[in-house]
Amino acid sequence: MISFDPTENSRLARDFYRKMALEQMRPISRRYDEEEHALPTEWVDYYWNHGRKGAPGNPTGATDGFVQVCIQAEELCFGDAALYLRLPTAALGGSAVAAAGTAEQRERFDAASDEWVLNGTKIFCTAGEGASQVEGGFVVVWATVDKSLGRGGIKSFVVPARTPGMRLVGLEKKLGIRASDTATLVFEDCRVPSGNLLGRPPEAKKPGEKPGDSAKQGDKGFKGAMATFDASRPIVAAMAVGVGRASLDFLLEELARQGIEARFDAPPREQTALGRDLVDMQAELQAARLLTWRAASMMSRGKPNNLEASMAKAKAGLAVTKITQKAVELLGPVGYSKKLLVEKWMRDAKINDIYEGTQQINQLIVARRLLEYSSSQLR
């Protein structure tokens, strides 16, 4: 029998982060939504002192690996997705290092006498302000080093915070996740050590060698960039589940307060229109969570999860959009007002359908994998 029950460590982590979400994040959620780009100092300090080392574990030490990372993401986004994104963690950058970096780079970044010089702009960089300005932070940049190689000429670099030549030029004003900064960074003759190129350095092209051959022998480049999403997409899917659960739980509590109880065990023919909506919302949420845990579990076991990561991301993005919009609708005018956080959750939800690959891109990836088509055969 296949068990979908979390380990005791994961249950402890879930309870630990859920308590943090309710007691530390929810009370300041509205404030930092309205004070866009303001640093939530009290939250960051609290997490740094109480949350970054993780939840207390049980004596057996058994964990669910990457699934537990997704459980943490779900619980903290149940509190507030934007405040979760504001935490001083590696996030997408760390996923890139894990996916494309060497074993040594995953431990530390080596300095070297040779350098790469970056020129260009990085836009829509999540947490880019802190990553580029705060000591200990870093930004991962994908740059083209040889246009003749096409995708093979794309390489990824780690640029430490405050590197000369990297400049913060602006912050986006957004519909949702407004407490999270989304930055534009400009690189002007920005010099980074060769040891900060993720993976092995590309080899020089040999006489008679076809374009792209040397890229295959070099670092992971574009493939490394794509592998990053296999790790980050389940986390984004878990974030979506957290926001969707916040909306559905609140809706169920509010309906119960009015004397309306959900009947999840009743067949469709015995349900009211409202009851069918609630059953559908619950089913969407559970399906998204199980797909997320499956993708995360495969990654923990070292199995390729490109298909499953995209399925989880696509499903969760659709589910959270549907659930939060329906919650606002069923609550009526008060759901649309700022008296409740439900309208904020609806605004926060949409980004999960966009970043780490849009809904359309992830559905395209799923279709290619299921049909065994290449990118040139199915665009």
**Residue 344 and residue 210 in one domain:** no
Cβ–Cβ < 8 Å for 323, 252: no
Residue 95: inside a domain, yes or no?
no
Residue 102 pLDDT level (bands cut at 50, 70, 90): low
Give me the CATH number covering residue 182: 2.40.110.10
Residue 25: inside a domain, yes or no?
yes
Predicted local distance difference test score (pLDDT) of residue 228: 84
pLDDT value at 216 more than 80: no
**Residue 239 and residue 329 in one domain:** yes
Amino acid at 372: E
Amino acid at 133: Q
Domain boundary among the residues 190, 219, 248 is at 219
pLDDT value at 272 more than 70: yes
Of the residues 115, 209, 356, 372, which is catalytic? 356
In three-state secondary structure terms, 120 is: strand
pLDDT value at 1 more than 60: no
**Residue 299 and residue 228 in one domain:** yes
Domain boundary among the residues 194, 219, 244 is at 219
- Residues 232 and 229: their CA atoms lie apart, in Å, by 5
Structural domain range at position 27: 8-67+80-85
pLDDT value at 310 more than 90: yes
Average pLDDT over residues 213-238: 73
**What's the mean pLDDT when you consider all of the chain?**
88
For residue 373, which phi and psi values (nearest 5 degrees)?
Answer: -100, 150
**Residue 204 and residue 281 in one domain:** no
- Residues 353 and 360: their CA atoms lie apart, in Å, by 9
Choose the weakest-confidence range: 31-45, 54-68, 134-148: 54-68
Active site residue 135: no
Highest mean pLDDT: which of 48-62, 138-152, 330-344?
A: 330-344
Average pLDDT over residues 236-259: 98
Predicted local distance difference test score (pLDDT) of residue 225: 67
**Residue 119 and residue 204 in one domain:** yes
In three-state secondary structure terms, 139 is: strand
Predicted local distance difference test score (pLDDT) of residue 217: 41
> What residues contact 304, with CB distance under 8 A and at least 6 apart?
230, 298
Q: What is the DSSP letter of 3?
A: -
Residue 92: inside a domain, yes or no?
no
- Within 13 Å and on the Cβ side, how many CA atoms surround 162? 5
Give me the CATH number covering residue 321: 1.20.140.10
At 24, which helix (H) or strand (E)?
A: none
Number of domains in the chain: 3
Domain boundary among the residues 85, 114, 131 is at 85
Tokens of residue 53, six digits:
């080392």
